[in-house]
Amino acid sequence: MTTTDLDRPLRIGLVSISDRASSGVYQDQGIPALETWFNAALATPWVLETRLIPDERSAIEHALIDLVDLSHCDLVITTGGTGPARRDVTPEATLAVATKEMPGFGEQMRQISLQFVPTAILSRQVAVIRETTEHAALILNLPGQPKSIKETLEGLKDVEGKQIVAGIFAAIPYCIDLIGGPYIETHESVCQVFRPKSALRK
């Protein structure tokens, strides 16, 4: 991996999974919420690809494979389809395209949501790594509601801004480092990244 590779823009793929939004019954809220959050949080260059698809396992798998293998996204985030309903198949599709599972992300996402609603235990969100011979990406299932998306990424803070529960994005830049992606920095007022001292840039 060359310095040029590490300094390239972060490539993010966003996939909103909803039968009704993808058919035009109502306007998708997941992708705009994620785009707004990344605009506020990221201090390093990034580029975006989006997909709006129905709750169909084959369509989800195809979108994830396309974003990682062909578009070379470093981070792919899905919203929607993670509950217990019959049409909720996002976790199954995500696991089907994975080479490694990252269970800590799902555990932390549920811990954050449990601060607000007891039904957070119904969420089946997963996170995985997909690797090819040329590329690797982190794929994450997030909630579908804009408020929950922000809480999951940022975590919880008290009135003075002190972190109470860590959001999942604090660990994502170092994960991207470890799989060969670009070095990501954030605006600390939104989200403070954690890296071991040995992984920090001088």
Task: Tell me the pLDDT tens digit for each residue of 70-111.
Answer: 999 999 999 999 999 999 999 999 999 999 999 999 999 999
The pLDDT value recorded for residue 5 is: 66
Residue 3 has pLDDT above 60, yes or no: no
> Tokens 């992708």 belong to which residue?
31
pTM, rounded to two decimals: 0.93
Give first-to-last CA distance, the chain, whole Å: 18
CATH architecture of 3-199: 3-Layer(aba) Sandwich (3.40)
Would you say 80 and 30 are in contact if contact means Cβ atoms under 8 Å apart? yes
